[in-house]
Structure 1
Amino acid sequence: MSALPDGDGPLSPTRSMTARQMARWRFTRNPSAMIGAFIVLSVFVAAIFAPWLAPSPESAGSFVDFRNRHAPPSWDNPMGTDNVGRDILSRVLYGYRVSLGLVVGVLGVAVPLGVVLGLCAGYFGGWIETGIMRFTDVMLALPPLAMALAITAVLSPNLVNAMIAITLLWWTWHTRLIYRIVKAQMNEDYVEAAKVAGATHRHILFRELLPNCIPAIAVKSSLDAGFVILFGASLSFLGLGIQPPTPDLGTMVATGSEYMPDMWWQAVMPGLAILYAILGFNLLGDGLRDMLDVEL
């Protein structure tokens, strides 16, 4: 139990709270973490409720309005319109759907795969550790963007193939992270006690070791979400990601860059949307790290 700070004053000896309450208190008292949580929440709300929030939902498809093309930001079109008259704000809101779908798809596969491989490598050791970690090192040595470009160039550019390309590279970081944590935990008393008690390998891996990896997984996943969004936007910018007319932030930046600097909003607004989402996930990840750091 820890003493509960009373406002901004000294610790009150008459009040106490659990470690979970202390972690929650640290998070809520961290301005950067709260800003990050707000940004991430707003991005999810924008993606989920895009059909109702978008000023022009039809702009998310192959809609064209040449009479309104290249219109600058205004009350009717807060982010302006693109080269065929579609509302950029509406496309950004729908673009968040694509970006978050990419995050969920990539991390939903890469994180469990990397965690299981890291657990096995750190726990069993021997040839299992050597095989998993040497293969991980080989994958880490490959330039991520070049590898993803090669994969998407062979496959047809779309959301599913973009997920495959990024997932084939992303599991390695989680494998390396969990491996290091497990190796550091193997000599702890609770692991030895579980072995002496006759616990199965599955029990030790998933009931003893895995819970101690959860904080690191949470922080790493939050930070990775921003990188996945940027990585997916990079593929789309190069023409190997999601294809038009599906609204994608990277594709919008690439198309808008052709009209710089006179019609700057067509590239700048989607670019700011990417920055906004990445900033939110990074601030949230830093806040989670501070909240879950037991040394604090």
Structure 2
Amino acid sequence: MASLGETAISPEILTARRMAWLRFRSNPVALLGAFMVLSVVFCALFAPFIAPYPEDAGNMIDFATRHSAPSAEHWAGTDKVGRDILSRVIFGFQVSLLLVVGVLGLAVPVGAALGLAAGYFGGWTEFLITGFTNVMLAIPPLVMALAVGSVLSQTLVNAMFAIALLWWTWHARLVYRVAKSVAAEDFVEAARLAGASHMHILLREILPNCVAVISVKTTLDAAFVILFGATLSFLGLGVRPPTPDLGSMVADGRQFLPEMWWGVLFPALGIFYATLAFNLLGDGLRDMFDVEV
């Protein structure tokens, strides 16, 4: 074990990191996933500049062009009030990524902290945390989200809260499993005998061994959060119109099937593209770190 004040990176760690990067770089599916995720992030960040009709992300109404089929002017057609669907899909990525950042930004730290505490301290701490986690895991996430979403107003913050309310449980259980195993290792016992504090052992000895599984789980969860958020929006419990949201766009477009098929197809393709991107990247990271989640 390195001394408490040591900051140098050993050659073994550098070699392990280099081997992990080489595994990732040699995986074409992982590289494709990374490219797709970057493209989604790029579209979300620069939506006002790359969307063909950025004004259509708001309250713009043009009944003269409503339900226009895909054409050179509107590549993905227009919706029921004449707004360009491609522009709204691009802006919809903003809502999806904000949902991912908000939900996982809440769920991952809470779940990781509880999992670390349960795995390291054991005893009553482990019993209480694992018991509460198991109870929360027994509640279907969609049912809880629907219950919370039906009580609260339709805002992005409330949608994040509704999803994050149960999402932390998966990270708590995963980190608990890893922390429980690592806490029994000799280097943790050596740190304890050397007088290291509980906080030091948790953050400097155990947590780094959980980073790989947390990274993989978080990336894979991003895809599920996007799909989950789209489901809530589809059911009318997502963000409030006219904010472009992929799930609500699918819900609006289904009213005019099969004639105006583009109103459903292109927002659905946006959901499919974003979820596939994070799934491919997550699989690549799993192979890179050689972990199971």
Shorter-normalised TM-score: what interval? over 0.9
Which residue identity does 2:181 align to in structure 1?
A: A
* Offset at residue 21 of structure 1 (A): 1.4
* Offset at residue 294 of structure 1 (A): 7.2
Q: Which residue of 2 aligns with 1:236?
A: 233
Secondary structure (helix, strand or coil) at the match of 1:216 reads helix
Q: Which residue of 1 aligns with 2:137?
A: 140
Give the Cα separation in 2 of the matches to 1:106 and 1:272: 23
Q: Which residue of 1 aligns with 2:6?
A: none
1:73 paired to 2:70: yes
Q: Which residue of 1 aligns with 2:188?
A: 191
Secondary structure (helix, strand or coil) at the match of 2:157 reads helix
Structure 2 residue corresponding to 1:117, chosen from 97, 114, 118: 114
1:172 paired to 2:169: yes
Structure 1 residue corresponding to 2:48, chosen from 30, 47, 51: 51
* Partners of 2:224 and 2:275 within 8 A in 1: yes
Give the Cα separation in 2 of the matches to 1:177 and 1:108: 17
1:117-173 Cα distance to aligned partner (Å, 9 max, x none)? 000001111111111111111110001101000001111121010000011110000
1:163 paired to 2:145: no
> What TM-score comes out, normalization by structure 1 length?
0.93
1:219 paired to 2:216: yes
* Offset at residue 19 of structure 1 (A): 1.6
* Offset at residue 209 of structure 1 (A): 0.1
Give the Cα separation in 2 of the matches to 1:24 and 1:294: 14
Of the structure 1 ranges 285-294 and 208-217, higher mean CA displacement relative to structure 2 is found in 285-294
* Offset at residue 281 of structure 1 (A): 0.1
Q: Which residue of 2 aligns with 1:32?
A: 29
Which residue identity does 2:176 align to in structure 1?
A: Y
Structure 1 residue corresponding to 2:206, chosen from 199, 204, 209: 209
Q: Which residue of 1 aligns with 2:285?
A: 288
> What TM-score comes out, normalization by structure 2 length?
0.94
Give the Cα separation in 1 of the matches to 2:223 and 2:125: 32
Percent identity over the alignment is: 65
* Partners of 2:212 and 2:291 within 8 A in 1: no
1:224-276 Cα distance to aligned partner (Å, 9 max, x none)? 00000000000000001111100000000000011111111101100010000
1:129 paired to 2:126: yes
1:42 paired to 2:39: yes
Give the Cα separation in 2 of the matches to 1:260 and 1:35: 33
Give the Cα separation in 2 of the matches to 1:91 and 1:51: 10
1:31-80 Cα distance to aligned partner (Å, 9 max, x none)? 11001001100000000000000000110001011111111111111111
Secondary structure (helix, strand or coil) at the match of 1:70 reads coil
Once superposed, which parts of structure 1, at least 4 consecutive aligned residues long, lie more than 4 Å away?
Answer: none
Q: Which residue of 1 aligns with 2:88?
A: 91
Which structure 2 segments of 5+ residues have no match? 1-13
Structure 2 residue corresponding to 1:245, chosen from 242, 245, 256: 242
Q: Provide the aligned length of Structure 1 versus Structure 2.
A: 279
Aligned residues: CA RMSD: 1.1
Give the Cα separation in 1 of the matches to 2:100 and 2:203: 25
* Partners of 2:119 and 2:179 within 8 A in 1: yes
Give the Cα separation in 2 of the matches to 1:19 and 1:135: 37
Which structure 1 segments of 5+ residues have no match? 1-16
